[in-house]
Amino acid sequence: MSPDPWSLYALMLRSRLFEEAIAKLWHDGAISGEMHLGTGEEGIVAGVVAHLRDGDAMALDHRGTAPLLMRGEDPVAILRELLGRPDGLCGGKGGHMHLFSRRFLAASSGIVGAAGPAACGFALAAQHRDAGAVAVAFFGDGALNQGMLMESFGLAAAWDLPVLFVCKDDGWAITTRSDGVAGADPMARARGFGLPAVEVDGRDVAEVWEAARVAVGRARTGGGPSFLRARCVHLEGHFLGFQLVRIVRDPLRAGPEVAVPLTRSLLRPGGGSIAERLRGLTGVVGAVLSTLRDPRRDAANDPVRRAREALPRDADRLRALEQRIGLEIGGVLAEASP
């Protein structure tokens, strides 16, 4: 079995354009607080969500917009929710970190790791309600250090729950590199709970799709939970307006804000030895530098672009598709925020 590259590309492009519209609204101030986008992880989300059907459930993290959109939730309702309108998906009460869809059995949470227990609960209900249904949990690499998620791995394994745990691994938890604070690599950790674990390139939707097909199939037929690790790059960094990214994109403006107090404190009498201070400085500079070598600028890391390049040559069909989606999102935008 192989995926239909056109429909996967369509899913991803639609999500990308939708989130780019959200980014614009956020920059214009139409959206207030934090805004975490899924731009860069569309390959993972599309590759997994494409396998879901009625009765399946999704437990989402702080990047729930893309999965919900790809699953089929009304884009106008989602956008109105992000705009905080009473006619939004959740009446403006939830917001982008708390998107709920009764129709698609989806629950989001801004609490890191909460997708684990939620997916177990959805899967438990599935076992009782309609055997054959599955639950997917989406979370990041940082979440792997959260106790409740680890407990969920154990519970799902002990109860053979039909869960697919999807780790969208961008290597970062906000400003912290995961390899610096995690005991071992994610695969070993997942396997330590008895979960079958597979690793794929999350920038390649076809790879994800195939791995998800196997895992979801296993879950549907009583084979129990699986763990999928998919690497990706978040094109906007942790969230919109992310300081590290701002420093990189606008060093003249954002740089001094950081550098001046930093230097003053570095030279302040009283405190650590020169060696200790330098170790500290290395840490800060390191984080900024690893952002400077900005993988976001590398087109190879954009799953949407890669999906586009992987399409069979058919210029007309492509143009038609992109035009259709462009128009749709334009229409959504117009309808949601007159």
Ligand X SMILES: Cc1ncc(C[n+]2csc(CCOP(=O)(O)OP(=O)(O)O)c2C)c(N)n1
Task: Work out whether 140 is an interface residue with Mg ion (CB under 5 A).
Answer: yes
Can residue 97 be called a binding residue for another protein (CB under 8 A)?
yes
Dihedral, 62, 79, 9, 49 alpha carbons, nearest 10: 50
Please name the residue ranges forming H helices in 197-314.
Answer: 205-220, 243-249, 251-267, 274-292, 303-309
Q: Which stretch binds its own copies (CB under 8 A): 32-40, 71-79, 142-150, 311-319?
A: 142-150
For residue 198, which of 221, 222, 166, 234 has the smallest C-alpha distance? 166
* Among 2-10, 37-45, 224-232, 271-279, the segment contacting another protein (CB under 8 A): 271-279
Judged by CB under 6 A, the stretch of 74-82, 141-149, 209-217, 301-309 that binds ligand X is 141-149
Closest distance between Mg ion and the C-beta of residue 108, in Å? 16
- Residues within window 77-136 making contact with ligand X, judged by CB under 6 A: 110-112
Q: Are 48 and 60 in contact (CB under 8 A)?
A: no
Radius of gyration of the chain (CA): 21
Strand partners, 108: 60
Exactly one of 190, 235, 245, 304 binds its own copies (CB under 8 A); that residue is: 190
Determine if 176 is a binding residue for another protein (CB under 8 A).
Answer: yes
Please check whether residue 202 is in contact with residue 1, taking contact to mean a CB–CB distance below 8 angstroms: no
CB of 95 to ligand X, least distance (A): 14
| Residue of 1, 2, 54, 86 interacting with another protein (CB under 8 A) | 86
**Window 125-154: residues binding another protein (CB under 8 A):** 125-129, 142-143, 145-148, 151-152, 154
Select from ligand X, another protein, Mg ion, none the partner in contact with residue 14, using the beta carbon and a kind-dependent cut-off of 5 to 8 Å: none
In angstroms, how far is CA 248 from the centroid of its own chain? 22
**262: Cβ contacts below 8 Å, ≥ 6 apart:** 284
For the purposes of burial, counting CB atoms within 10 Å of the CB of 114, is it exposed (0-12), middle (13-18) or buried (19 or more)?
buried
The answer to the question of residue 237 lying near ligand X (CB under 6 A) is: no
Sequence-distant (≥ 6) Cβ neighbours of residue 198 within 8 angstroms: 211, 214, 215, 226, 227, 228, 229
What the block records as the tokens of 162 is: 């039909």
Does 330 bind another protein (CB under 8 A)? Our answer is no
Residue 169 or 204: the one with the smaller Cβ distance to ligand X is: 169
Binding partner selected for residue 238 from ligand X, Mg ion, its own copies, none, CB under the kind-specific 5 to 8 Å limit: ligand X
Which does residue 258 bind out of its own copies, another protein, ligand X, none, counting CB within 5 to 8 angstroms by kind? another protein
If contact means CB under 5 to 8 A according to the sort of partner, which of ligand X, Mg ion, another protein, none does residue 117 touch? another protein
Encoded tokens for 47: 């590759």
Identify what 156 binds: Mg ion, ligand X, its own copies, none; CB under 5 to 8 Å per kind.
Answer: its own copies
Separation between Cα atoms, residue 138 and residue 136, nearest integer Å:
7
Say whether residue 158 binds ligand X (CB under 6 A): no
Question: Which chain residues interact with Mg ion by CB under 5 A?
Answer: 140-142, 170, 172
